[in-house]
Amino acid sequence: MGSRLRRWWLRLHRWLALTLGVPLAVVALLGSVLVVLKPVDYWLHAELFVVAPGPAAPDLLERVRQRLGAEFGPGAALTFRLPRLADESLRVAVRGPWDGTIYLDPRDARELGRRGEHEGAFNLLFEIHSALLMNETGKPLLALLALAYLLLLIGGLVLWWPKRWRQALALTLDRGALRALFDLHRSGGALLGLLIAVPVLSGAYMAWRPLSQAVTTLSGQPSTAPPRLPSLARDVQGPPMDLDAMVKVARAGFAGAPVGYVQLPARPSKPIRVRLRLADDPHPNGLSSVWLHPHSGAVLATHRWDELDPGARAYSVIYPLHTGELGGLGHTVLNGLLGLALAGLCGSGVYLWWKRRA
pLDDT in tens, 267-312: 888 999 999 999 999 999 999 999 999 988 999 999 999 999 999 9
pTM over 0.85: yes
pLDDT tens digits for range 301-334: 999 999 999 999 999 999 999 999 998 999 999 9
pLDDT at 239: 73
Average pLDDT on 49-78 reads 95
Residues 61 and 205 in one domain: no
With a cut of 90, say whether residue 224 has pLDDT above it.
Answer: yes
**Is residue 263 classed as helix, strand or coil in its secondary structure?**
strand
pLDDT tens digits for range 335-347: 999 999 999 999 9
Contacts of 192 (CB under 8 A, 6+ apart): 338, 341, 345
pLDDT tens digits for range 21-40: 999 999 999 999 999 999 99
Residues 24 and 155 in one domain: yes
CATH at residue 71:
3.10.450
Q: Would 29 be classed as within a structural domain?
A: yes
Q: Would 139 be classed as within a structural domain?
A: yes
Average pLDDT on 236-252 reads 86
With a cut of 50, say whether residue 234 has pLDDT above it.
Answer: no
Residues 138 and 20 in one domain: yes
Residues 59 and 22 in one domain: no
The number of folded domains in the chain is: 3
Contacts of 176 (CB under 8 A, 6+ apart): none
Cα 26 to chain centroid distance, Å, stands at 17
- Phi and psi torsions of 63, nearest 5°: -60, -45
pLDDT category at 170 given cuts 50, 70, 90 is confident
Residues 144 and 260 in one domain: no
H-assigned helices in the chain? 2-44, 46-49, 60-72, 121-131, 138-160, 177-207, 210-219, 243-252, 310-313, 315-323, 328-357
Q: Would 68 be classed as within a structural domain?
A: yes
Structural domain range at position 194? 2-42+132-161+172-218+333-357
pLDDT at 164: 79
With a cut of 70, say whether residue 4 has pLDDT above it.
Answer: yes
Contacts of 47 (CB under 8 A, 6+ apart): 112, 113
